[in-house]
């Protein structure tokens, strides 16, 4: 069994992260991908992945965080992905029109840019899609043919 999407760097796990991983292993989970939501989270995720042999990670900007992403976010995501083979995907990226924590035009622009970056790096991308079906499908239709991705939270 493999968990392709978790958030082990969430602060709620600070006191028992090792125990959470131990319970997962005990339940037969052979590996996990801890998915980043912003640049700081990507740094924490990579540190965890570097320390644990059965943890991998992503680097990217979640649509909730798109509005606060710095101007050099894409370059920093690229650097994070190239710095470690433990970074196995770009994301979590996508669109969330349900909560609208970030302006929709910013979400769309950053989503498309992260899809392009994933293609440039030969990595899959992780898609968060909430109440934005039409725009998500349009962006995916424009992705390179055969570009691998994981569709998460498609509602």
24-63 pLDDT, tens per residue? Answer: 999 999 999 999 999 999 999 999 999 999 999 999 999 9
SS3 letters for the chain? CEEEEECCCCHHHCCCHHHHHHHHHHCCCCEEEECCCCHHHHHHHHHHHHHCCCEEEEECCCHHHHHHCCCCHHHHHHHHHHHCCCEEEEEEEEEECCCCCCCHHHHHHHHHHHHHHHHHHCCCEEEEEECCHHHHHHHHHCCCCCCCEEEECCC
- The pLDDT of 90-108, averaged and rounded, is 98
Residue 155's pLDDT is what? 75
Q: Tell me the domains of the chain and their CATH numbers.
A: 2-152 (3.20.20.140)
The whole-angstrom separation of Cα 68 and Cα 62 is 10
- The pLDDT of 84-103, averaged and rounded, is 98
Query: Which residues make Cβ contacts (< 8 Å) with residue 45, sequence separation at least 6?
Result: 8, 9, 34, 35, 36, 57, 58, 59
Do 91 and 26 form a contact (C-beta atoms < 8 A)? no
Chain position carrying tokens 């990217």: 60
Torsions phi, psi for 60 (to 5 deg): 175, -175
Q: Is the peptide bond before 148 cis (omega within 30 degrees of 0)?
A: no
Residue 59's pLDDT is what? 99
Average pLDDT in the chain: 97
């Amino acid at each position: 069994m493999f968990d392709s999407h978790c958030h082990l760097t969430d602060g709620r796990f600070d006191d028992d992260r090792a125990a959470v991983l131990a319970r997962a292993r005990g339940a037969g989970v052979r590996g996990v991908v801890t998915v980043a939501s912003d640049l700081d989270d990507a740094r924490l995720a990579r540190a965890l992945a570097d320390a644990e042999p059965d943890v991998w990670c992503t680097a990217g900007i979640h649509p909730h965080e798109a509005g606060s992403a710095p101007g050099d976010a894409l370059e920093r995501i690229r650097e994070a992905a190239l710095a470690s083979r433990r970074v196995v995907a770009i994301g979590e990226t996508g669109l969330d029109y349900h909560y609208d924590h970030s302006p929709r035009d910013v979400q769309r622009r950053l989503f498309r840019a992260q899809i392009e970056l994933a293609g440039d790096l030969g990595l899959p991308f992780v898609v968060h899609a909430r109440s934005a079906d039409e725009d998500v499908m349009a962006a995916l239709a424009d992705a390179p043919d055969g570009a691998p991705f994981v569709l998460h939270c498609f509602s």
